[in-house]
Homo-oligomer: A and B are copies of this chain.
């Protein structure tokens, strides 16, 4: 038991600490952060981490796995607002109104660290580097969203989506050219404002052009230049 406790996850030995908070915090600073972080939580596929309208208490650092966040609109249709990958921090949307505006559902069995927000702010006031980093992460969250050009064609949107996922994996030191999409075609279509059929056809078309290789949910980007061109060109070419 003691042995187990000794090795339980904390910020100092957490393998993603430098990823979710990649700021040069000293060991003593990290251990302060560790003190306020609640223990790890496992969320199984399809389970919810927090609910729309639920009280906002904490941010969540994704240690492994992935989530989609969505709002339910008036006809209780799900509208996906974003996907969240390992090493990212989740829950910023709820700060303003102190309640969640979205529901976060696990796309696969996932592990998160719960970071009580009030305590985090108190600590941030004492550790300038932590404060700066929090603002930076939140800003990056905003930037990620911005890329989705609403007036883009279906192919442009899908190309931007693939670039975005790819670069986020790259940021985490994972392969940017070959990865598994953890969400369904329907999720992708919903997020991009397309029909599933369109997503399916576009994957096939992009494969036909030698831009990507699609094997079910496994995507290989064969030609980053062509992908880049696909994000901005207006018509087929």
On A, residues with C-beta under 8 Å from B are 71, 73-75, 79, 81, 92-97, 101-102, 121-122, 124-126, 128, 131-132, 134-143, 145-146, 148-152, 190-194, 231-232, 234
Instruction: Kindly identify which residue among B75, B96, B124, B135 contacts A140, using a CB–CB cutoff of 8 Å.
Output: B96
Bound together, the chains give a CA A73 to CA B230 distance in angstroms of 13
Asked if A146 contacts B190 (CB within 8 A), the reply is no
Bound together, the chains give a CA A139 to CA B139 distance in angstroms of 9
User: Number of copies of this chain in the oligomer?
Assistant: 2
Instruction: Kindly identify which residue among B75, B96, B232 contacts A73, using a CB–CB cutoff of 8 Å.
Output: B232
Asked if B121 contacts A192 (CB within 8 A), the reply is no
Q: A75-B234, A79-B151, A92-B138 are in contact. List 7 more A-B contacts (CB 8 A).
A: A74-B231, A81-B146, A95-B136, A96-B142, A97-B143, A125-B128, A151-B193
B residues within 8 A CB of A142? Answer: 92-93, 96, 138, 141-142, 145
B residues within 8 A CB of A191? Answer: 150
Q: Min CB distance, A168 to chain B, in Å?
A: 13
B residues within 8 A CB of A81? Answer: 146
B residues within 8 A CB of A102? Answer: 146
Asked if A135 contacts B138 (CB within 8 A), the reply is yes
Q: Min CB distance, A64 to chain B, in Å?
A: 24
Asked if A192 contacts B150 (CB within 8 A), the reply is yes
B residues within 8 A CB of A92? Answer: 138-139, 142
B residues within 8 A CB of A122? Answer: 128
Bound together, the chains give a CA A124 to CA B135 distance in angstroms of 12
- Chain B residue at minimal CB-CB distance from A136: B96
Asked if B145 contacts A145 (CB within 8 A), the reply is yes
Q: Min CB distance, A128 to chain B, in Å?
A: 6
Across the A-B interface, the 7 shortest Cβ-Cβ residue pairs: A150-B193, A95-B139, A151-B193, A96-B139, A74-B232, A96-B140, A125-B125
Asked if B74 contacts A139 (CB within 8 A), the reply is no
Bound together, the chains give a CA A131 to CA B128 distance in angstroms of 12
B residues within 8 A CB of A136? Answer: 95-96
B residues within 8 A CB of A149? Answer: 73, 79, 193
